[in-house]
Amino acid sequence: MLWKLLKLEWLGFRRAPHWGQSMAVNVIMGFFAVYMLLTALALGFTGGYILEETFPGENVIHKFNGFFVYYLLMDIWVRFLMQKFPSFSLSKYLTLNIKKSTLSRFLLTKSIFSFFNLLPLFVIVPFFFTNVVGGLGSSKAMLWLVTMVTFIFINNFLSFWLDRTANKQPLIVFLVLATISGLIYLEYKGIFSLSSYSAPIVNKLYGSIFFVLPIAGLAAIYYSLYKNLLSNAYLDAGASGGNDSISEIDGLDFLDNYGEVGKWLRIESMLIWRNKKSRNYLFMSFIFLVYPFAFGMDWFDNIYLLIVFGLLMVGGFMLNYGQLLFSWNSTHFDFIITQNLSLNNFLRSKYILIAGSNLLFFVLSLPYLFLEPRIVLVNLVMMLFNAGTIAYFYLWFTMNNSKKMSLSKGNIFNQEGISAAHYVIMIPIVALPFLIFVPFKLMGHEYLGLLMLALLGILGIVFHKQIIDRAIEIFKYKKYFLHNNFTK
């Protein structure tokens, strides 16, 4: 039965309508995938020579082992953001006469057939034949290969676990990803070399009886996921949580006290938590908070970079989520416009969500005060500017450029709902604060330029009611255009 289910998935993949509807995108993604595989293959064959040239006199295999652990950490982040795990595939089989244990094994087996599991093999296998076999001997080399492949599958199932845990216990996922990010940053800056400490451990694994440890770890993660899928294999669980998952995710009952606007905010917040694509945008916004560290300390004196980083640090979520502001509601948009609901409150909740996100991330950026007070000052200016100008920009833009989007497609790099206009719109958004600030900077009045940006934002916030009322008049006509786009 397991192989029959896998065959059905393959047939469904081959016959999916998206192959004909988005051929150009498929061709581009295909070329990109081939390029990545060929690059990995070339790295696998030349990796030994590169390591010998870079680290003369050191053991090439040991160096590879250390850097491979570093790769595994980055791989978890990439998988969490990009890999689409097959949790939603379960619901369509639950009403059939198929054992839930079989369905659980099917989902776990299906997750193995991923590009993210194939890509590292194009590095490992050539390196195995060109360096490992000759350096370790055939028997020990086979243990090395088994260990490396085991690590890849551990990463696959660990990422699967993170994806499922993000709904019910997002704090745990955030702490895991934050720890990984910290280790990557310390390695990148040369403060703490994880690869140097991990290489001896990996060497011990395939050099002794300890090679069974990663295999045992893989079995434990597999069994834990299997039990989790088995215990949540119900239609009302949505294959993504238990019966209590809604109450655990929600926790926003207090918003109901703020009338219909609060209820819309609660619904939108629940949408963000329950869907991988929107949730990943939120996680990416936390990355923007620490992104400046990657550039060292030299850029602090550059006011233009401070403005760019301020735009990203406090407005990262708005810049990503706001581009699809109405597309998130495309599957139930007909319900919104046919009910006796206030469009004023609907649009106001959209504005409060994206404008308020700037305040949230500004508060989270306050620790920069101990590093460089100018960062916090510019972040305050950009928070006001984003909330008072760019937020309205997105309201207008999404009324004219929204397309249908499926929330079940969790990959943040999935282009559904996005057109060329979504990339072009970033040009005026980034250019606008500089058009206002640069003239004052050239006249030697840097802080006056920042003050003008802040005042413009404050005016937008103070007169938000009048601006929203005008947006509602436009939305009354645009809602039919949007409904037509969402029902194509």
The pLDDT tens digits for 352-394 are 998 999 999 999 988 888 878 888 999 999 999 999 999 988 8
The pLDDT of residue 287 is 78
pLDDT at residue 282 tops 70: yes
3-state secondary structure of 39: helix
CB atoms < 10 A from the CB of 269, how many?
18
Task: Tell me if residue 75 falls in helix, strand or coil.
Answer: helix
Q: Higher-confidence residue: 471 or 422?
A: 471
Tell me, what's the pLDDT at 123?
A: 92
- Encoded amino acid at 126, one letter: P
Look up residue 204 and give its two tokens: 């011990």
- In total, the chain counts a number of residues equal to 488
Q: Which amino acid is at 480?
A: Y
Q: Tell me what pLDDT residue 425 has.
A: 76
CB 275 within 8 A of CB 410: yes
In this prediction, residue 176 has a pLDDT band, given cuts at 50, 70 and 90, of: confident
Q: Which pLDDT value is given to residue 87?
A: 61
pLDDT bin (cut points 50, 70, 90) of residue 249 is: very low
The predicted pLDDT at position 14 comes to 54
**What is the tens place of the pLDDT at every residue in 9-25?**
656 555 555 544 455 55
Measure Cα distances from 65 to 61, 293, 296 in Å. Answer: 6, 27, 28
| Mean pLDDT estimate for the chain | 80
pLDDT of residue 238: 42
Contacts of 222 (CB under 8 A, 6+ apart): 108, 157
Residue 219 has pLDDT above 80, yes or no: yes
Identify which of 446, 423, 418 has the alpha carbon closest to the alpha carbon of residue 434: 446
Cα of 90 vs its chain's centroid, Å = 23
First-to-final CA distance of the chain: 36
pTM: 0.65
pLDDT the model gives residue 149? 92
CB 229 within 8 A of CB 240: no
Taking phi over 0 as left and psi of -120 to 50 as alpha, with beta for the rest, 192 belongs to beta
Task: Report d(CA 162, CA 169) in Å as an integer.
Answer: 9
Question: Taking 50 as the threshold, does the pLDDT of residue 163 lie above it?
Answer: yes
**Residues 260 and 342 sit within 8 Å (Cβ to Cβ):** yes
How much is the pLDDT for 247?
A: 38
**What pLDDT digit, counting tens, does each position of 410-465 carry?**
555 555 656 666 667 788 888 899 999 999 988 888 899 999 999 999 999 999 88
Q: CA 328, 331, 337: angle at the middle one, nearest 5?
A: 90
In the prediction, which pLDDT does 241 show? 40
Structure-block tokens of residue 389: 């100008």
Single-letter residue type at 339: Q
**Confidence at residue 148, expressed as pLDDT on a 0 to 100 scale:** 92
pLDDT digits (tens, 9 = 90+) for 309-347: 888 889 888 888 888 888 888 887 787 777 777 778 888
- Domain limits, the chain: 30-246, 251-486
**For 224-237, how does the pLDDT look when each residue is reduced to its tens digit (9 = 90+)?**
888 888 877 665 45
At residue 245, the pLDDT reads: 40
